[in-house]
């Protein structure tokens, strides 16, 4: 399945804890209302490009679940959260640089709305949706 536009909060949580992950995400989503995301920049990913996302509410949601899962986190997920939406990935550095230049030429701040959490399972290439959890229950 193709995953739509999203902000990744964690890259790899253990499948053996899937029920706990879904339960915690459901609790957080149920007690959180939709909130604003500021999209206020473009950054290089080296072999891709991303839109920079800023939101105190997003940071708070991430911190809430991160504190419960700290012993499960990979080194990548232990790094500070750098919220972004990937526009392009796994291309040549030259293609990424050209995309970055085009996006920076006509980029102005944008606003979006976070509407919920989703838990996905990686199945060796495609992704499978485990559970979509809208904010506010």
Rounded to whole angstroms, what are the CA distances from 59 to 36, 45, 54, 98, 123?
12, 21, 8, 30, 28
Pairwise CA distance, residues 97 & 93, whole Å: 6
State the burial class of residue 21 (Cβ atoms within 10 Å of its Cβ: 0-12, 13-18, 19+). Answer: buried
Task: Note the pLDDT tens digit of each residue in 36-75.
Answer: 999 999 999 999 999 999 999 999 999 999 999 999 999 9
Task: Note the pLDDT tens digit of each residue in 115-136.
Answer: 999 999 999 888 999 999 999 9
The domain 15-131 belongs to what CATH superfamily?
Cyclic phosphodiesterase (3.90.1140.10)
The full set of domain ranges for the chain reads 15-131
């Amino acid at each position: 399945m193709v995953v739509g536009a999203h902000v990744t909060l964690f890259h790899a949580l253990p499948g053996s804890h899937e029920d706990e992950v879904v339960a915690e995400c459901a609790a957080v989503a149920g007690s959180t209302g939709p909130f604003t995301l500021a999209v206020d920049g473009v950054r290089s990913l080296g072999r891709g490009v991303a839109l920079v996302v800023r939101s105190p509410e997003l940071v708070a949601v991430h911190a809430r679940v991160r504190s419960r899962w700290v012993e499960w986190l990979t080194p990548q997920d232990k790094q500070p959260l750098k919220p972004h939406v990937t526009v392009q990935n796994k291309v040549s550095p030259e293609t990424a640089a050209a995309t970055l230049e085009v996006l920076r030429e006509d980029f102005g701040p944008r606003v979006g709305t976070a509407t919920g959490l989703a838990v996905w399972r990686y199945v060796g290439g495609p992704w499978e949706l485990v559970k979509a959890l809208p904010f506010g229950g």
